[in-house]
Amino acid sequence: MTPVHEDRPTPGERGLSAPEDWVDRYGDELFRYAYLRLRDPASAEDAVQETFLAAFRARSEFQGRSSELTWLVSILRRKIVDCFRRAAREQPVVDIETEDPEADGLFQPNGWWRVKPGPWVPDAGALLEQSEFWDVFQGCFSRLPPRLAAAFSLRVLEELEPQETCKVLGVTATNLGVMLHRARARLRRCLEARWFQRPEGE
Amino acid sequence: MLSCKDVTRLVSEGLDRDLPLDRRLAVRLHVLLCGACRAYRRQVILLNALVCRRFSRGSARLPGGPSLSAEARERIQASLKKRDA
Ligand SMILES: [Zn+2]
């Protein structure tokens, strides 16, 4: 344990800024975080509101060890998982269809490629800093069917373990595997079409 | 030998759990001989790595993008005030 210094905020409310400032300070960032994962503005707003209310109730538990934003995000992440859990309960996945019409077009009946993956730019590492790339990514992500997007959000963006993701979505491990595979394959294909194969000079 | 369709499925699975040795070797052999699956595998792994780095735990600080609407801001502010009282 690190010794407590005098100048550190003491645990409890004194480490937190005034709740009436939270919305102005953190509202947009929390909203963006939620909107990216939930893909629906109304659900994202609800998650942000629930987060602030939960933070207000738990304000005495804020330890001052992490930043306020980090603390709020950790609450928001639980609200996002709850939102996916509720949606999955309302519309449970009965059975994943074994045939995927989108993927089936890519392969021949014997399982070999019909439409082969194209070459991608070599300087892919630089993509991380290119905001245009992430705009395209978000566009592709927004085109995923809801269940595939939910699986991808929880497993890849929120980094939940596969087992935990299955529980939240109420699906078997096999189903989750199929959903993630389809989500990744579609994202890859969409990015290939919209980013990696743009005509020169665009 | 695995088909290309099988390989794409296993590439995804490999990102979520350790594949059994025989599967791993089968994928490795396949991509050695099949340029299309080699490209597919490289691209999916690259995308996964990019997404992980961009959105890794708690990184809320994304510049730009949509912001809370004025209505939502007011509604949330009001709900907090109600609790505050
Ligand atoms: Zn192949």
Identify the CATH number of the domain in which residue A50 sits: 1.10.1740.10
- The answer to whether residue A4 is domain-embedded is no
The count of structural domains within chain A is 2
Please report which confidence band the pLDDT of residue A95 belongs to, taking 50, 70 and 90 as the band edges.
low
Residue pairs spanning A and B at CB distance below 8 A: 145
- Of A90, A120, A151, which closes a domain? A90
Question: Do A105 and A86 fall into the same domain?
Answer: no
- The answer to whether residue A174 is domain-embedded is yes
Average pLDDT over chain A, rounded to an integer: 86
Q: Please tell me the distance from the alpha carbon of residue A201 to that of residue A199, in angstroms, as a whole number.
A: 6
Which tokens in the block code for residue B59? 């990184």
Dihedral, A174, A175, A181, A182 alpha carbons, nearest 10: 160
Q: Residue A67 in contact with residue A145, Cβ under 8 Å?
A: no
Which tokens in the block code for residue A45? 């707003």
Global pTM? 0.88
Tell me the per-residue pLDDT of B18-69, one tens digit each, with 9 for 90 and over.
Answer: 999 999 999 999 999 999 999 999 999 999 999 998 887 656 556 667 889 9
Q: Please tell me the distance from the alpha carbon of residue B30 to that of residue B27, in angstroms, as a whole number.
A: 5
Phi and psi at A107, nearest 5°, equal: -120, 155
Question: Do A105 and A175 fall into the same domain?
Answer: yes
- The answer to whether residue A110 is domain-embedded is yes
- Structure confidence at residue A149 (pLDDT): 96
Question: Do A32 and A79 fall into the same domain?
Answer: yes
User: Is any Cβ of chain B less than 8 angstroms from the Cβ of A64?
Assistant: no
Neighboring chain B residues of A69 at a CB cutoff of 8 Å: 60-61
Say which range, A26-35, A54-63, A87-96, A152-161, has the weakest mean pLDDT.
A87-96
- The answer to whether residue A11 is domain-embedded is no
- The answer to whether residue A191 is domain-embedded is yes
- Structure confidence at residue A40 (pLDDT): 93
Identify the CATH number of the domain in which residue A169 sits: 1.10.10.10
Structural domain harbouring A75: 19-90
Please report which confidence band the pLDDT of residue A62 belongs to, taking 50, 70 and 90 as the band edges.
confident
Question: Do A151 and A172 fall into the same domain?
Answer: yes
Give me the interface pTM, i.e. the ipTM: 0.91
Question: Do A134 and A187 fall into the same domain?
Answer: yes
Q: What is the mean pLDDT of residues B60-83?
A: 83
Please give, rounded to a whole number of angstroms, the shortest distance from the CA of A113 to a CA of chain B. 6
Please report which confidence band the pLDDT of residue A126 belongs to, taking 50, 70 and 90 as the band edges.
confident
